[in-house]
Amino acid sequence: MSRERIYLFDTTLRDGQQTPGIDFSLEEKISIARMLDELGVDYVEGGYPGANPLDTAFFTRKRTAKAKFVAFGMTKRVGVSASNDPGLATLLRAEADAVCFVAKSWDYHVRVALGCTKDENLDAIRASVEAASAAGRAVMVDCEHFFDGFKANPTYALACARTAYEAGARWVVLCDTNGGTQPSEVRAIVEQVVRGGIPGAQLGIHPHNDTGQAVANALAAVEAGARQIQGTLNGIGERCGNANLVSLIPTLLLKPAYAERFETGISPDALAGITHLSRGFDELLNRAPDAQSPYVGQSAFATKAGIHASALLKEPATYEHVPPESVGNRRRVMVSDQGGKANFVAELKRRGIDVPKGEGRLDALVALVKEREAEGYAYEGADASFELLARRMLDTVPDFFHVTSFRCTVERRYDANGTLRTFSEAVVKVLIDGEEKMSVAEGHGPVNALDIALRKDLGKYQREIADLELVDFKVRILNGGTAATTRVLIESHDGAGARWTTVGVSDNIIDASFQALMDSIVFKLMKNRDLAGRAAAE
Ligand SMILES: CC(=O)SCCNC(=O)CCNC(=O)[C@H](O)C(C)(C)COP(=O)(O)OP(=O)(O)OC[C@H]1O[C@@H](n2cnc3c(N)ncnc32)[C@H](O)[C@@H]1OP(=O)(O)O
Ligand SMILES: CC(=O)C(=O)O
C-alpha cells in the first residue's frame, strides 16, 4: 500500500526567533538552515525580510540546497494596492522559493487589530496570494488564530482559508496562534475545513504549545487530513513554543499508526542523528539540554528502578517503547537507592568491572550506596564518585596522596582603596611518599582557594593534573537551616575531552566541596593509568 506524504515545515528561524531570550546571529541562522537542510525537512522558513536588517541580509541568497527556502511576511495592508505595498515588495524581492503570508482569519482580530472590514481583509488575502504567485513563488498562507476564529465565526474563518486556496495558495495553514485549542477540537475543526472544500493535501497546521499539546494537536490535524506540519527544533517558539519537530519526527517514522500510513523526507540515517542534532542545537543556544525530552533526552532511555533494570537487561523491549539507537540515544541503567543488583552489575560492566550477581561484595556495595544515599549522597549524577566507591570495594584504588589537614579563612574588610571586599585563603598539607608538602593559595571564594591550594603542589602528580578543569559546581541544601546537610556536585573535564562528576556531602559546605574535589583528582589519576574512567567520555 502506498503511503501518503507528510510535509515538514520548520519555523525555528522565524517563530523560534520570537522565543524570549533567543536572538540568532546571521552566522547562527546560516548554520541552523544547514542543519535543517541536512535533517531533510521540506521547508525552512528563514525569517521576515524587511522586519530587521539581519533577516533582510539573510535573504540576500538562498540558504538551503534541498529544502524549499521560505520568506515570511504579512498580507498587504488595506488601503494600498499589492503593487504599492512596501512590505510586500520587500518580501517578493527576498531570495526565496516560497512565501508564507500571515493572514487574519478571526473576525475579532480583523475588527480590533486591523481595523478594517471583513471583506477588505479577504481582498488583502486574495491580492497578496495573487501577487506572490505572479512573482513565481510557491505561496502559503498561515491563517492566524484560525481555531479561535472558527469557534467564534466558522463561516468567516473558512472564507479566509478558502480565499487563500482559491487565489492559488499551495498550502493553507491553520494556526493555533494562542495555543489553547485541544486535540479533539483540532480534529473536529480540520475535518470541517476539509468538508468545507479545502483538500487535506493542501492543508497545514501550526500549533503552539500553551497547553503542552502542540505535538498532539499536530498529530490530530494529520489524522483529520492535514498534510503539512509546522514546528521547530526542540520546540522553541513564542511563549511556550511550537510543535517540537524533534519529538514529532521519531513518532511519524517509528510509530506504526503513522509510519504505516505516511512518509516524510526524513531518512532513517537522519533519524539516527536526531539526538545529536537536538543537543547540538541546545549547545548553539548555550543552554543545557532537557534531560526528559522525549526520544532525545539523557533520561529518555534511563532507569533507576531495580525492577525495571532487571527486566530491561533481559530484554530491552520490556521497558523501552522504541530502541534508543533508532534515534541515536542510548540506554542508561543507573545506580541509586532505587536500584537492585541488576542496575549495579550493568553499570559496573560498562565501567569495565565484571562482578557476578551472586558475589557477596556486590551486596555490600549495594547496601553501602543505599546507606550513603540516605545520608545525602546522590550517585546517579556522580559517576566518578560511584566508580571510586565501587573500585575501593571490589578492586583497588592506589593511595596516591593523603591530605593530612586543610584550613580555609574568609575575611571581609576594607582594602587599601577603602572598598569593602572579601578575601579567601586556604592552606593544605599533603603527604606524598612520606613527604609532607604545604600549599597556601588565595581564591575568589573559600572553595576556589582550597582548589588552587590542593592542586598547587601535588609533587610527582602535578604535571598529570595540569589539564584537569572544574567546569561546574552545584550546591544543594538537603534540609533547612544553617546547620543543614549540604551536597556538592563538581563536574570536571580534561584535555582528552572526558567529563566526570563527583559528589561530597557534609554539614559543612567547604568539607563537602573538598570531598568532591579529592574524588575528582583521584579519578583523574586513575584515569591517566587506565584504572578507571572507561565510561567518562560517553
Ligand atoms: C502570529 C505570528 O507570530 S505573526 C508574526 C509576528 N512576528 C513579528 O511581528 C515579527 C516581525 N515584525 C516586525 O518587525 C514589525 O511588526 C513589522 C516590521 C512587521 C511591522 O512594523 P510596523 O509597521 O512598525 O507595525 P507594528 O509592528 O507596530 O504593527 C503591526 C501592523 O501590522 C498590521 N497587521 C498585522 N497583521 C497583519 C496582516 N496579516 N495583514 C496586514 N496587516 C497586518 C497591524 O494592523 C499593524 O498595523 P497598524 O500599524 O496600522 O496598526
Ligand atoms: C503564524 C504564526 O506564527 C501563528 O499564527 O502562530
- Report the distance separating Cα 456 and Cα 279, nearest Å: 36
Helix, strand, coil percentages (3-state) for the chain, rounded to 5, are: 45, 20, 35
**What confidence category does residue 182 fall into, taking pLDDT thresholds of 50, 70 and 90?**
very high
> Residue 125: is its pLDDT beyond 80?
yes
> Residue 399: is its pLDDT beyond 60?
yes
In a domain, residue 485? The reply is yes
Q: Answer yes or no: pTM beyond 0.80.
A: yes
Mean pLDDT estimate for the chain: 94
Classify strands 98-104 and 171-176 as parallel, antiparallel or unpaired.
Answer: unpaired
Q: Are residues 67 and 189 in the same domain?
A: yes
- How many domains does the chain fold into? 4
The domain boundary, picked from 258, 285, 312, lies at: 285
* 167-176, 244-253, 374-383, 432-441: the lowest-pLDDT one: 374-383
What mean pLDDT comes out for the span 390-416?
93
In a domain, residue 218? The reply is yes
Nearest-atom number in ligand 1 for the CA of 52 is 14
Q: The domain spanning residue 415 has which CATH number?
A: 3.30.160
Q: Are residues 370 and 386 in the same domain?
A: no
**What confidence category does residue 94 fall into, taking pLDDT thresholds of 50, 70 and 90?**
very high
> Residue 497: is its pLDDT beyond 90?
no
**Ligand 1 site, CB within 6 A:** 15, 18, 48, 51, 74-75, 77, 102-104, 113-114, 124, 144, 177, 238
Going from the Cα of 212 to the center of ligand 2, the distance in angstroms, rounded, reads 16
48, 108, 110, best to mutate for ligand 1 pocket (most atoms within 8 Å of CB): 48
In a domain, residue 293? The reply is no
Q: Are residues 26 and 83 in the same domain?
A: yes
81-93 tens-digit pLDDT: 999 999 999 999 9
Q: Are residues 206 and 265 in the same domain?
A: yes
Q: Are residues 170 and 79 in the same domain?
A: yes
What mean pLDDT comes out for the span 426-431?
96
* 100-104, 119-123, 142-146, 299-303: the lowest-pLDDT one: 299-303
Q: Are residues 319 and 227 in the same domain?
A: no
The domain boundary, picked from 222, 255, 285, lies at: 285
Cα–Cα–Cα angle for 204, 207, 211, rounded to 5 degrees:
155
The residue nearest atom 4 of ligand 2, judged by CA position, is: 177
Q: Are residues 41 and 118 in the same domain?
A: yes
Going from the Cα of 115 to the center of ligand 1, the distance in angstroms, rounded, reads 13
Using alpha carbons, list the distances in angstroms from residue 10 to 7, 24, 54, 101, 191.
Answer: 10, 15, 19, 15, 24
Nearest-atom number in ligand 1 for the CA of 73 is 19
In a domain, residue 291? The reply is no
> Residue 322: is its pLDDT beyond 90?
yes
> Residue 270: is its pLDDT beyond 90?
yes
Task: Count how many Cα atoms sit within 13 Å of the Cα of residue 67 in the half-sphere of its side chain.
Answer: 28
Q: Are residues 36 and 154 in the same domain?
A: yes
Range of the domain at 361: 302-375
What mean pLDDT comes out for the span 502-507?
95
The domain boundary, picked from 243, 259, 285, lies at: 285
**What confidence category does residue 537 fall into, taking pLDDT thresholds of 50, 70 and 90?**
very low
Q: Are residues 437 and 346 in the same domain?
A: no
Residue 334 has a pLDDT of 82
Here the ipTM equals 0.95
In a domain, residue 397? The reply is no
Nearest to 520 by CA among 494, 484, 487, 495: 494
In a domain, residue 292? The reply is no
Q: Are residues 384 and 413 in the same domain?
A: no
Residue 84 has a pLDDT of 97
**Ligand 2 site, CB within 6 A:** 15, 102, 142, 144, 175, 177, 206, 208
Largest interatomic CA distance in the chain: 92
In a domain, residue 317? The reply is yes
What mean pLDDT comes out for the span 87-111?
98
Residue 477 has a pLDDT of 86
What mean pLDDT comes out for the span 200-209?
98
Nearest to 379 by CA among 364, 389, 367: 389
Nearest-atom number in ligand 1 for the CA of 238 is 3
> Residue 16: is its pLDDT beyond 60?
yes
Q: What percent of the chain is predicted at pLDDT more than 70?
A: 99
In a domain, residue 184? The reply is yes
Q: The domain spanning residue 121 has which CATH number?
A: 3.20.20.70
> Residue 483: is its pLDDT beyond 80?
no
C-alpha cell at 97: 522559493
Nearest-atom number in ligand 2 for the CA of 237 is 3
Residue 480 has a pLDDT of 62
Q: Are residues 191 and 311 in the same domain?
A: no
Nearest-atom number in ligand 1 for the CA of 128 is 40
**Do residues 130 and 88 lie in contact, with contact meaning Cβ atoms separated by under 8 Å?**
no
Q: Are residues 201 and 237 in the same domain?
A: yes
Going from the Cα of 241 to the center of ligand 1, the distance in angstroms, rounded, reads 20
CB atoms under 10 Å from CB of 462, counted, come to: 12
What mean pLDDT comes out for the span 170-199?
98
Going from the Cα of 336 to the center of ligand 1, the distance in angstroms, rounded, reads 53
